[in-house]
Chain A
Amino acid sequence: MSANAKIYGLLAQFDTAAGIFEAALQVRDAGYRKWDVFTPFPIHGMDDAMGLKNSKVGYFTFCGGFVGFFTGMTMIWYMNKFDYPLVVGGKPLFTPLYAFPVSYELTILLGAFATLGGMLALNRLPKLYNPLFKSERFKKATDDKFFICIEATDPKFAEARAMLEKAGAAAIELVED
């Protein structure tokens, strides 16, 4: 097994969207856990084909937006009513009505930052080193080819090559870590 220690996984290339879709169904049904599909654009229905659950990005957005709105309201109350009350134009020192537009913008602002941050955190990005980048063929994953990678740590890795061949891979290569 010492020779296998350096192996990252098995990379299989497919040439069409339907090809990768069918292959993903087969890999999922064969019970693989440590695997992924790489496509130049999101393929409709692929999440189900891979058996992925709904993304959790929305929770990040909600927290960011909530913090934004709360920050806006508190900030304005503190500045204009609590710390230095100053009557302007006979208007009330604080009311949520005039504090609303700014709080609304801050809801969106922090919600947006949380969405981007949440998406990157869930994807473990930025990750500038990736063993897959060593494969010359893999450069086509952002162009017009489709790939499945089954990682060496998957318990069923031994049967992976036969599995991918049966699924109709156009090319299969071993990727080292």
Chain B
Amino acid sequence: MANAASIPAAAAPKGKQHDPHAAPPKIVAIDPPQEFVREPLVLNGRSLGWLTERIAGVCEGKMPLWWWPAFIVSAGLMTMMFALVAYLISTGVGVWGLNNPAAWAWDITNFVFWIGIGHAGTLISAVLFLLRQKWRTSINRAAEAMTLIAVVCAGIFPVIHTGRVWFALMPGWLIPAPNANYIWPQFRSPLLWDVFAVSTYGTVSLLFWYVGLIPDLATLRDRAKNKVRGFFYGLFALGWTGSNRHWSNYEKAYMIFAGLSTPLVLSVHSIVSFDFAVSNVPGWHTTIFPPYFVAGAIFSGFAMVLTLMVPMRTLFKLQDIITTRHVELMCKVILATGSIVGYAYGMEFFIAWYGGSPYELYAFKNRAFGPYWWAYWTMITCNVISPHLFWFKWCRTNMVFVFFVSIVVNIGMWFERFVIIVTSLHRDYLPASWGYFAPTWVDVFTFVGSFGLFLTLFLLFIRFLPVIAISEVKGVTPQADPHHPLGGAKGGHH
């Protein structure tokens, strides 16, 4: 738009001969050719006021009709999950299908699945911020909310899988306090590192999310039509005024949060992978696990962001803010991380053969051709083949297709964790102790119910908080730039 402003009719006039006394040729700024001009992040040149109105309008107005059925179904599934957790705790872990040798099964699969999904939010909010990827502003708020909710869903499973949950919550096992025999927790175990990693991750993500929310809560406070809303948004906005002396500290704090969260997000799934890699079970004991788990986590997280954003942008008419370009860029992240995941699958097999351990090699042959072959090939189809469809522009820009692939990817990532955990455990060193794990109905419906918890909390987030970071999106529009004609700058080009 702005680039079309002043293309000169011709560049500097060409003299026939070099004349040392002639005036130096005029330097003319030439706009880049059309194909190099980046698409604007907010389409249709929407004004700052429009952005406030549209984004804040989502959580201020009545929810559309579909919201209530969606909420009731999700809350029903959530209730079912809590009922099944109560059944598990009152009866014992025998209600699940796991037993020796597969003492970890759906519980830990679900934990790793949910915590992996959480990684996209922090990646978008922190890593893309440090890399100056301005397109993150349209999606970071909802992605961070998704992260927090996914961490809640993830946190439930390791606690309930202990069977006697009160031990997990009592001092001396997980919490660093002495137990009844004055023994302290055992810090040599990656399982305890995991407790610190996941709880730090949840807490820091919450703080980061809240810092980002403060200016937007102030916007909602100033727009509040009734006293109750004004009071609560005002309380949580902490008296934010938009003072530049405050913005100065705020922006520094925001950057530091991004700097703290970047090593955090890389460490969390690395530590989750240590739960497996530090043991000496064939199929788990590999050094590739930390980077492979982190790539897989970002892969699944971006898929879940797309699963939520693609319907959301249509249902709330946010297409000018979450544009096709945003969706395309997320698809490219899926393509990149999906390729890393595919490479890791191949490398695991290579090392299993090259490493020369017959147990390791057997574990991998057993994955692909053993009794769980169907899980392995589901994983390969969903995770290795489906992301490569995103090489094609049509696949990245067709919203129905993107939505479909995003779900396929997450099915694949659930199966990845299932394959890693169950196929490694069910046959290890001693054939006499081999077994076969099959889930019970309690396993299945607890997992289904965790989606109810996830969606319930996400629907509540849509209902009460701005789904897009209003102040951040405004900051990347040309109107926000004091040196841009749309920002009111007089004369001159940019």
| Residues of chain A whose beta carbon lies under 8 Å from any beta carbon of chain B | 15-22, 24, 36-47, 50, 52, 54-58, 61, 65, 75-76, 79-80, 83-84, 86, 88-89, 91, 98-99, 101-102, 104-106, 108-109, 111-113, 115-116, 118-120, 122-123, 125-130, 132, 138-144
Contact = CB atoms under 8 A, between A and B. Distances in A.
- Size range of the chain B interface in the assembly: 35 or more
A101 B487 contact: no
Contacts of A89: 188
Interface of B: 47-49, 52, 176, 178, 182-190, 192-193, 196-197, 200, 203-204, 207-208, 210-211, 215, 218-219, 221-223, 234-235, 238-253, 256-257, 260-261, 263-264, 267, 271, 274, 471-472, 474-475, 479-484, 487-490
A17 B488 CA distance: 6
Contacts of A50: 244-245
Contacts of B182: 84
Nearest to B192: A102
B213 to A, nearest CB: 12
A39 B252 CA distance: 17
Nearest to B205: A112
A37 B417 CA distance: 52
Contacts of A111: 256, 260
15 contacts: A21-B482, A22-B482, A40-B471, A46-B244, A47-B244, A76-B187, A86-B183, A86-B186, A99-B187, A105-B197, A108-B260, A109-B200, A123-B250, A126-B239, A128-B238
Given A50-B244, A80-B186, A84-B183, A16 B200 contact: no
Instruction: Give the interface centre of A84, A111, A116 by most chain B CB atoms within 10 Å.
Output: A116
A17 B479 CA distance: 7
Given A21-B482, A42-B475, A61-B260, A115 B184 contact: no
A112 B204 contact: yes
Contact of A115 (B200, B246, B253): B253
A13 to B, nearest CB: 13
A1 to B, nearest CB: 27
Contacts of B190: 101
B187 A80 contact: yes
